[in-house]
Amino acid sequence: MIEQTVEVPTKDGATTTFIVHPERNGPHPVILFFMDAPGIREELRDMARRLATAGYYVMLPNLYYRRGVLELKDLPPVPDEEHRARMFELMGSLTIPMVMDDADALLDFADRDPGASRRSIGTLGYCMSGQYAINLAARYPKRVAAAASIYGVRLVTDQADSPHLAAQKTSAELYFACAETDQWAPLEMVQALDQAMKAHDVDAEVELYAGVEHGFAFPQRAAYDQPAAERHWERLFALYGRRLR
């Protein structure tokens, strides 16, 4: 595998981006992997590596670069409540338009890298970033072929760029994995999302993972559930295999 950490220039500076892809048989389809609220960490890099072993060029950008933060663990230690508040403040500093601008820069970088294919791409977001994965599919309706939101939040809102509306503007195949117990994405939202996808004949699956909580796919989380996590990997590899190959 080839790994590199690069500074990708953006409209607002530069985002430190972890890139991993196979050494041979390239160029490889691009997958933009958007981080969750706790930010860049080795846990996410390992997940990017797992995707890359299946033959993908995976980009994991730091979305907190505007605030001068790469890894939360590098910040001065504070009590748990303050740490949580700091994380939510960072999460709240992002908007969908900001992340879409970042994605433009990331794709421009990938298009100039001989290791990356310039054809169809995939997107992936967990928690706060599920919305970004779906909105990018709407921003590039002819290029994003597969988009996945894993226990994404704010998927149905009253905003014009709500993901449930963005989903109607793409021909990509969409996959939503939702936890049965999730205070950030309650069952009412999951049901509304599913109804919207069906009502508008969107090529999407909304799958409810019974008996698990928000965060079930992350090995370092207390909510980690191995059977559910492995199921989500199975779904992702099948999705990207169908649409990016």
- The pLDDT value recorded for residue 78 is 63
pLDDT for the residue 188: 96
In sequence order, what are the residues at sequence separation of 6 or more whose Cβ sits closer than 8 angstroms to the Cβ of residue 54? 237, 240, 241
User: In terms of Cα–Cα distance, which of 179, 175, 185, 229 is closest to 208?
Assistant: 179
pLDDT digits (tens, 9 = 90+) for 97-107: 999 999 999 99
List, for residues 3-25, the tens digit of each pLDDT value. 999 999 999 999 999 999 999 99
- Write the pLDDT tens digit of every residue in 159-211: 999 999 999 999 999 999 999 999 999 999 999 999 999 999 999 999 999 99
Query: What CATH superfamily classification does 2-244 receive?
Result: Alpha/Beta hydrolase fold, catalytic domain (3.40.50.1820)
Query: What's the pLDDT at 74?
Result: 67
Q: Give phi and psi for 215, each to the nearest 5.
A: 95, 10
Q: What is the pLDDT of residue 73?
A: 73
Query: According to the model, what pLDDT value does residue 81 have?
Result: 74
DSSP string, 161-185: T-HHHHGGG--SEEEEEEEEE-TTS
